[in-house]
Amino acid sequence: MSAMNRPPKPVLNPYLAGAILGVVLFASFALTQGGLGASGAISRIQVSATALLSQSHVDRVGYFAAVGGGDRHALDHSSVYLFLGTFLGGMLSARLNGRMKIEVFKGPRISSWQRLGFALLGGAIMGYGARFARGCTSGQALSGGAVLSLGSWAFMFCVFIGGYALAYFVRRLWTD
């Protein structure tokens, strides 16, 4: 319990964190031929959850069937292990640094319930967009950016453009 009561340690310098991230990303390419990712595994978990409710629905919808149709197991994929690692690595680091605590991060002008609602909504938009773009910030922007994929660079700038374009209109969510 002592680790949980410690005050949170300061976060890493952003460039140092970036340099470590770059080394991890390089290690991923060097050992597995591919980069990092998160949204692919989230999609697979969603398909396997859908299959628990109705396998026939997964078989019928082509996009789901491609990973979890028939005798395919949606969770039988390297990306799912990467996802589990990401979760546990994040958990371990949070615990060691005194950041393991139930809380809701939000702007000062909205209630926690509003924040949770917007988090769910934003997540759904993000999940839709990540499948549309065939990858998320880690899979497309980070990994594709490092190997100079043209599509990934175009994608990356569009994420920033999309965020900046909408930021003013949703400023109540985040600013004083």
Partner 1 sequence: MLPLDINAELGRAGGNAVFFLIGAAFGATLELAGFGDSRRLAAQFYLKDMTVLKTMFTGIVVACLLLFLSSALGLLDFSQISVNQTFLWPGIVGGLIMGGGFIVGGYCPGTSVVSAASLKLDGLLFLLGTGLGAGLFGETVSSFSEFWNSSFTDRLLVSDWLGWSIGATVFAVTLMALGMFYGAEKTEEFFRSGKLSWQLKKPVYLAGAGALFAVAAAVWIIGQPDPLRRWELMQGRYAALLASRDVFIDPLEYVQTANNTGIKLLTLDLRAEAEFTAFHLAASERRSLDEMLDSRVAAPLAQLPAQGVVVLVADDEASAVAAWQRLKVQGVSNLYILDGGLRHWHARFAGRTLHGKPVDLSRPPAAVLEQFPKDAFTPKIKLATKKRSGGLCS
Q: Does 51 bind partner 1 (CB under 8 A)?
A: no
CB 97 within 8 A of CB 163: no
Using the minimum distance from each CB to partner 1, give the nearer residue, 2 or 94.
94
Give the nearest distance from C-beta 17 to partner 1 in angstroms.
Answer: 4
Nearer to partner 1, 1 or 102 (CB): 102
Q: How many CB atoms lie within 10 A of CB 1?
A: 4
Q: Which of 2, 31, 52, 56 binds partner 1 (CB under 8 A)?
A: 31
Number of residues that bind partner 1 (CB under 8 A): 125
Q: How far is CA 116 from CA 108, 111, 121, 165, in A?
A: 14, 9, 9, 22
CA-CA distance, 87 to 138, in Å (whole number)? Answer: 14
Q: CB–CB of 16/33 below 8 Å?
A: no
Q: Mind giving me the DSSP string for 104-119? A: ----TTS-HHHHHHHH
Binding mask 60-79 for partner 1 (x = CB under 8 A): -xxxx-------------xx
Site for partner 1 in 84-143 (CB under 8 A): 84-95, 97, 99-107, 112, 115-116, 118-143
CB 155 within 8 Å of CB 139: no
Interacting residues with partner 1 between 3 and 22 (CB under 8 A): 11-12, 14-15, 17-22
- We find the least distance from the C-beta atom of residue 2 to partner 1, in angstroms, to be 17
Closest CA to 139 of 60, 82, 67: 82
Rounded to a whole number of angstroms, the minimum distance from the CB of residue 69 to partner 1 is: 12
